[in-house]
């Protein structure tokens, strides 16, 4: 594989099923009320929680935004699962920012360009047909959460490269344990590293575009006499606008 992403064998990222199944206890509200707030049928929510239906990235985002719960609570790193109490589990309504999906990051990370992971390789890692990963990472189809983490683990990619959660600074932190604080700092570091990687890619793409522009626009010196340039012709890209 001719890119900078090497396959990893260790599972680093996983879904925090423990928190998901204990939402009624953590939030101190009934499962029926959770389902109502998330616009889900209670039977469907129950099947998500007991594993009868694999949760999708889209539904996870819906749950986070409906309950105002930061998405990173549901992402376990190296098996460390956050279990916030009722006071710290949610963000006040006037401070909440919507959890969104960064599809641009998917297009920058995967594809046929230099330094990207080929979609066919992602499909092979996930064990699915070749066209599914692209549709999933653009959220055009239901994206199973286990397949999402499988891809992230395979290429050592932070889930938060794609899952944008601006609420980290707004979640209460006073009751966090030392382990939770360390885990939180790890998340932040990975996010910052992913941001730097994206900026580097964009910078390199700009440099490449600049070099291509210089290649297409050439200065032809037709006659040089006595050290003086008598005629300079500029040959522009024939495909450029007039």
Q: What is the pLDDT of residue 12?
A: 87
Selection from 136, 126, 76 nearest residue 106 by Cα: 136
Residues in the chain: 242
Would the pLDDT of 227 be above 70? no
What is the three-state SS of 121-187? Answer: HHHHHHCCCCCHHHHHHCCCCCCEHHHHHHHHHHCCCCHHHCEECCCHHHCCCCCCCHHHHHHHHHH
Q: What percent of the chain has pLDDT over 70?
A: 70
pLDDT, mean of residues 220-237: 48
Give the side-chain half-sphere CA count within 13 A for 115: 10
Query: What is the number of helices (H) and of strands (E) in the chain?
Result: 11, 6
Highest mean pLDDT among 66-70, 186-190, 238-242: 66-70
Structure tokens at 211: 């070099």
Q: Centre a 10 Å sphere on the Cβ of residue 196 and count the other Cβ atoms it contains.
A: 10
Instruction: State the pTM of this model.
Output: 0.68
Helix, strand, coil abundance in the chain, percent, nearest 5: 50, 15, 40
The vertex-183 CA angle with 116 and 151, nearest 5°, equals 25
| 93-137 tens-digit pLDDT | 999 999 999 999 999 999 988 889 999 999 999 999 999 999 999
**Average pLDDT value for residue range 31-44:** 97
CA distance 154 to 17: 20
What phi-psi label fits residue 118: left (phi over 0), alpha (psi between -120 and 50 degrees) or beta? beta
Q: Which residues contact 142 (CB under 8 A, 6 or more apart)?
A: 56, 58, 136
Residue 158 Cα distances to 121, 137, 139, angstroms: 18, 14, 17
Domains in the chain: boundaries? 13-200
| Angle in degrees, 0-180, between the axes of helices 119-126 and 145-154, rounded to the nearest 10 | 120
Asked whether residue 5 carries a pLDDT value surpassing 80, the answer given is no
């Amino acid at each position: 594989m001719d890119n900078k992403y090497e396959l990893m064998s260790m599972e680093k990222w996983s879904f925090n099923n423990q928190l998901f199944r204990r939402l009624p206890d953590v939030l101190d509200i009934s499962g029926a009320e959770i389902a109502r707030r998330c616009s889900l049928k209670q039977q469907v929510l129950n099947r998500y929680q007991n594993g009868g239906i694999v949760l999708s990235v889209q539904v996870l985002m819906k749950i986070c935004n409906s309950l105002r719960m930061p998405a990173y609570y549901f992402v376990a790193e190296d098996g460390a699962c956050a279990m916030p109490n009722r006071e710290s589990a949610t963000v006040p309504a006037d401070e909440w920012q919507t959890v969104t999906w960064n599809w641009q990051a998917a297009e920058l990370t995967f594809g046929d360009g230099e330094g990207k992971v080929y979609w066919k390789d992602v499909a092979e890692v996930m064990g699915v047909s070749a066209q599914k990963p692209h549709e999933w990472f653009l959220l055009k189809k239901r994206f199973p959460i286990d397949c999402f983490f499988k891809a992230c683990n395979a290429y050592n990619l932070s889930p938060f490269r794609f899952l944008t959660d601006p609420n980290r600074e707004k979640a209460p932190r006073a009751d966090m344990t030392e382990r939770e604080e360390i885990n939180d700092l790890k998340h932040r570091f990975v996010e910052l590293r992913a941001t730097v990687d994206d900026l580097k890619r964009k910078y390199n793409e700009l440099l490449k575009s600049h070099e291509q522009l210089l290649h297409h626009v050439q200065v032809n010196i037709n006659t040089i006499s006595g050290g003086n340039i008598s005629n300079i012709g500029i040959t522009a890209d024939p495909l450029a606008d007039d």
